[in-house]
Structure 1
Amino acid sequence: QNSRYQTYQRMWNYMQSKQPSVFVKSTEEGIARVLNSKYAFLLESTMNEYHRRHNCNLTQIGGLLDTKGYGIGMPLGSPFRDEITLAILQLQENNRLEILKRKWWEGGHCPKEEDHRAKGLGMENIGGIFVVLVCGLIVAIFVAVMEFVWSTRR
């Protein structure tokens, strides 16, 4: 509504003008509308990932609109700040947070999602280019030797 980006302003105006209302009161209501009608639900990425892992009929279209981190609020000058920061960093370093995420988030109901993003080229994709390059180099060396022999015989 108050965005400086015209695209977001247009989205807001469109959503506000639709009847019945496109706004929902809860995440569960939004997911139910997605599953039962032609409805796109804008959802925070972490919640979206969680619900997609537990319901195979949900998917995410496109990338993220923005990225935000999470923080733990504490009073100014809290003696626990440094200890908690170090503990979180240690959990990240030991990959413990990722292990816990997999333990609690993996629904196990859905098959592994395919990554539809463009993949990098491997040797099997560009190996032919090197064959052509080497053949061209051999032909160029052969032609250079033949020209040298031809010019020295004259």
Structure 2
Amino acid sequence: MSAWKTWTILFAVCISFVSCEKVAKCDLGVNGHITFTESDSGRLDVNLHLHKFSTQSGTYKIHVHENAPSSSLSCKKALRHHFNPDDGVNGNDIGDLGVHSTNAMGMLHKDIPDISPLTLESGPFDIRNRGVGIHDASHHGAMIACCQILEQVQ
């Protein structure tokens, strides 16, 4: 087989494996980031990469909120309600990303698989340009950080 045919076949095989995933990121500055990755099959996964919330372990509740944070308002005033487009029909808060604990150094690196029906596509479950709030689960739910979910250009 000629080198040209071999290269053409390899190129065709590589093209077939290219993913069309969408990515959105919520940047917490020095406190890390939350990445939302949606595969071409529609599955939306979350990666938590949080740090410097404290110098020791802690427990935090993470939610998607209806509004995005504003630079002129505190997180608590800007975010308001949790994002729940089906009004709890399924018996839970769809925007609830769970309660998670940091390690002894105040860090949390965790993957949350498939948070369906949330999506990065237009529609009632679209989370782009909404906010994420991180609450201290041990101190009456005080909001300690927030960020806006922004789609990333790939």
Q: TM-score, normalised by structure 2?
A: 0.19
| Higher strand residue share | 2
Task: Flag the structure with larger Rg.
Answer: 1
| Higher helix residue share | 1
Q: TM-score, normalised by structure 1?
A: 0.19
